[in-house]
């Protein structure tokens, strides 16, 4: 998944999308799940939906983001 090959689109790689997610959350502090996904679709393409959950899981496993269930939103962990 994280290892690129000749078919990997660098714009839609898990690591790149994770970077865009961090950038968006840094700017807005708390971002709803739907707003984050729609912003990423606008920045990249509709194909980002295939990688979005993998990137969120990657950041969550690294303990970089926190999910707020009441708001259905995400924020950075400090």
Alpha helices in the chain (DSSP H): 14-28, 33-43, 49-61
Neighbours of 8 (CB within 10 A): 13
The CA-atom distances, in angstroms, between 66 and each of 5, 52, 53, 76, 78 are 30, 15, 14, 6, 10
Contacts of 61 (CB under 8 A, 6+ apart): none
Q: Which domains, ranges and CATH numbers included, belong to the chain?
A: 10-76 (1.10.10)
Q: Which of the four pLDDT bands, split at 50, 70 and 90, describes residue 31?
A: very high
Q: How far apart are CA 4 and CA 65, in angstroms?
A: 24
pLDDT digit string, tens, across residues 39-72:
999 999 999 999 999 999 999 999 999 999 999 9
């Amino acid at each position: 998944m994280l290892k690129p090959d000749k078919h990997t689109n660098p714009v839609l790689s898990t690591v790149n999308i994770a970077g865009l997610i961090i950038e968006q959350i840094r700017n807005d502090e708390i971002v709803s799940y739907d707003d984050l996904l729609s912003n990423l679709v606008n920045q990249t393409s509709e194909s980002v939906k295939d990688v979005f959950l993998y990137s969120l899981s990657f950041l969550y496993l690294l303990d970089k983001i926190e999910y707020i269930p009441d708001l259905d939103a995400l924020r950075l962990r400090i």
